[in-house]
Amino acid sequence: MFSKRSAFEQRKNALTLALEAAAPRYDLTESNPTRAGLPYPGPELLAAFDNAAVRLYAPDPRGLLPARQAIALRMAARQLQVDPAQVFLTSGTSEAYGYLFKLLCDPDDEVLVPQPSYPLFEHLCRLENVRAVPYPLHYDGQWHIGLPELRSAVSARTRAILLVSPNNPTGSYLKRSELLALENLGLPLISDEVFGEYPLRDDPERCQSALCSERALVFSLFGLSKQAALPQWKVSWICMRGPKAPTEQAAQRLELIADTYLSVATPTQLALPRLLSLLAPTQTALHARLRRNLGKLRGLLSNGSVSPASLLHVEGGFYATLRLPATQSEERWVLDFLEKDSVHVQPGYFFDFADEAYVVLSLLTPEATFDEGVKRLLQRVQANVGRGPR
């Protein structure tokens, strides 16, 4: 009766069962900013909806022009030139992926996806009947796109290369040299830059956005969920840029796709320009939290004796990855932290790391929980090493 694409594995794994048995006291996986104790401009946010125009329904498939103009202004403040005509509003980033896969792919076409990366890619692709073909990110003290493997993954059915910059969870940004190499492949680039406004270190090699490309057809994705810490507003946008002819054709087709859904609510679109002018205090507090927790993590790792856990290089975004001794499986580590220390972290296999053992920590976690959770985790690692494999 049902489609193959909706036949997802529903079985609960050991981690889910353990979480159901006891709620952890130290949840280091929190990635919902609305639960992270950040300051929001409450009355001003509500006032942004106070607009007589909400009574009218006069949709624009790309999104209402004042909203797209406000987005273009915000991008200009980041030195990114975006034409409001090439901005498309969507209800969340997942919908943006859905639109772009509809635009670029027929059933069984392929898109190249980074690994490790955002776990939702598998679902997003499958729901559009698109095949997600992985290309690796390699770590040698910094993360790099595995360009030789990416080139060999290109087939006659490849329709786009997906990038996440900074990536979830590796925190690595796209580099200028990588963008140049990708341009040479002549494929459209879909670049998820939802964490882009949260750099955690300076790097002259960093590519500010794939929109800086001079040659490729680029679709960069942004949204309020991370930028304004407001995922519940369900506003994201695609900014497009590229050679004239394919960009114009893509815009016409995307407009038709968007016209079929007209999904972003009018009151939200009308409120967007005011909202974008209000987000600075929340964003500043969020950024400060990320930097503070990363600093604390570094401090705890270098405290006293050399820790058997090590922090992988983080350039930006909400997450930090720890490499743990491979004396036991990733799953065993995560279950130990949960069952013995009431600490919840995500295992690397959620993100398809190539080997074990890694755990991913959310830097968005409120400070007190983060500090105690990390201390307990590091003590557990220390206590477990030296006992040999089991």
Ligand X SMILES: Cc1ncc(COP(=O)(O)O)c(C=O)c1O
Q: State which residue, 28 or 300, has the beta carbon closest to ligand X.
A: 28
Residue among 8, 107, 103, 54 nearest 270 (CA):
54
152 burial type by CB count under 10 A (0-12 exposed, 13-18 middle, 19+ buried) = exposed
Q: State which residue, 317 or 341, has the beta carbon closest to ligand X.
A: 317
First to last CA, the chain: 45
**236 near ligand X, judged by CB under 6 A:** yes
Minimum Å gap between C-beta 4 and ligand X is 25
**188 near ligand X, judged by CB under 6 A:** no
CA distances from 291 to 29, 33, 230 (A): 16, 15, 20
**91 near ligand X, judged by CB under 6 A:** no
For residues 26 and 373, is the Cβ–Cβ distance under 8 A? Answer: yes
Pick one of 98, 134, 196, 231: the residue that binds ligand X (CB under 6 A).
231
For residues 328 and 12, is the Cβ–Cβ distance under 8 A? Answer: no
Mask: binding to ligand X, 108-147, rule CB under 6 A, as x and -?
A: ----------x-----------------------------
Mask: binding to ligand X, 144-183, rule CB under 6 A, as x and -?
A: --------------------x---x---------------
Mask: binding to ligand X, 20-39, rule CB under 6 A, as x and -?
A: -----------x--------
**223 near ligand X, judged by CB under 6 A:** yes
Sequence-ordered list of residues with C-beta below 8 angstroms from that of 121, at least 6 positions apart, any chain: 113, 132, 162
Minimum Å gap between C-beta 122 and ligand X is 13
**290 near ligand X, judged by CB under 6 A:** no
Distance separating alpha carbons of residues 390 and 72, to the nearest angstrom: 56
Minimum Å gap between C-beta 350 and ligand X is 12
Residue among 95, 118, 78 nearest 236 (CA):
95
Ranges within 193-212 binding ligand X (CB under 6 A): 194
What does 36-76 look like in DSSP terms, one character per residue? TT----HHHHHHTT--GGGG-----TT--HHHHHHHHHHHH
**Among 180-188, 209-217, 223-231, 343-351, the segment contacting ligand X (CB under 6 A):** 223-231
Nearest-CB residue to ligand X? 225
Tell me the backbone φ, ψ of residue 27, rounded to 5 degrees. Answer: -95, 105
Q: State which residue, 169 or 384, has the beta carbon closest to ligand X.
A: 169
List alpha helices for 78-158, DSSP H. Answer: 93-104, 121-127, 147-153
**Among 92-100, 141-149, 286-294, 355-363, the segment contacting ligand X (CB under 6 A):** 92-100
**Among 34-42, 50-58, 89-97, 358-366, the segment contacting ligand X (CB under 6 A):** 89-97
For residues 171 and 122, is the Cβ–Cβ distance under 8 A? Answer: no
**227 near ligand X, judged by CB under 6 A:** no
Strand duo 131-139 + 143-145: pairing: antiparallel
For residues 123 and 101, is the Cβ–Cβ distance under 8 A? Answer: no
**Among 90-98, 133-141, 202-210, 373-381, the segment contacting ligand X (CB under 6 A):** 90-98
Contacts with ligand X by CB under 6 A lie at: 31, 92-94, 118, 164, 168, 192, 194, 223, 225, 231, 236
